[in-house]
Amino acid sequence: MTTTPTFAARLAAAVRDRRTPACIGLDPRRESLPATFGVDTTTDPQAVAKAFATFCREVIDVVAPLVPIVKPQLACFEAVGPHGMAALADVIAHARSKGLLVLADGKRGDIGSTAEAYADGWLAGPWAADALTVNPYLGLDSIEPFVKTAAARAAGIFVLVKTSNPGSKDFQDLRIDGRTLSEHVAAGVESLAARTAAGGPYGAVGAVVGATWPRQLDELRAAMPHAWILVPGFGKQGGRAADVRGAFDAHGLGALVVSARDVIFAHARPEMNAGLAAHQWQTAVERACRDMIQRLAADTPAARLCGG
């Protein structure tokens, strides 16, 4: 009898295969697309959605040989309405066709049957993403439907623990019974991750911890040894490769480091766009993606993925 590898195992295999923990965020924004798309001033949702789909497919074509996973930001597509959601389906299908894992960044969270519906739709239903970001604010019971579906479908979830935005300190750093709120959430995540590890080092439940909080990242990695950590905030938000070292295990695994705007809109970065014509924006994307990979290899345990 054969069994489907767990999400944690598939993710580890993909990271080893590409020799990098880099995750590219797909956050299309009308005003930031290369000028060749011609939608910077249009308000026609169908035209914008078509541009988003084409742009993201062409980004995927560049990064697919280089990274293990992409992270579509659902809000960017939802903002365009039904046409945007059709574009999202197109983008997810294209990513899969290129051998990429897909992490749907929707930060979903609710109770009871509504949580079940979110889990079924995004992890088992028509979207069938490999993983989904989840908001734990409603409590651990609100996460259980996602955990159940993820375990049954060999998918994964990433629970918000310490987010990268400056305002995360407003609630997540509040101290309760001697620990911060983020530390309480981390304890719950670790319990769920260990429960779903199926004999491996990591479970189906991971955590989101921002690169902009390197001290907390170190502490939270120690508190969640069985959880993959998704690390947003690298690049445009100020996170550096050196800031994310603590997210990794000794083998260079256990962490996914996210960059979106710095890579997909690299045509707007003079150092990446140097010498390129407007239609060569994909070359800028490739340069930026390779630069990210090199920085992570130079300054984090990810170097071990390359035999370093």
Compute φ and ψ for 176, nearest 5 degrees: -135, 120
Q: Are 157 and 131 in contact (CB under 8 A)?
A: yes
Q: Which two tokens stand for residue 55?
A: 């742009």
Provide the terminal-to-terminal Cα distance of the chain, rounded to the nearest Å: 37
Q: Which two tokens stand for residue 241?
A: 């490769």
Strand partners, 23: 69, 258
Of 38, 121, 33, 28, the closest CA to residue 78 belongs to 28
The one-character DSSP state at 234 is: B
d(CA 185, CA 255): 18
d(CA 177, CA 20): 39
Burial letters for 69-85: b for 16+ Cβ neighbours within 10 Å, e otherwise?
bbbbbbebbebbeebbe
* Residues 132/106/14/153 CA torsion (nearest 10 deg): 20
Active site residue 107: yes
Of 107, 148, 169, 236, which is the active-site residue? 107
If you count them, how many residues does the chain have?
308
In terms of phi and psi (left: phi > 0; alpha: psi -120 to 50; beta: otherwise), the region of 199 is left
Q: Please compute Rg for the chain using Cα positions.
A: 19
Q: Which two tokens stand for residue 194?
A: 């260990």
Positions annotated as catalytic residues are 107
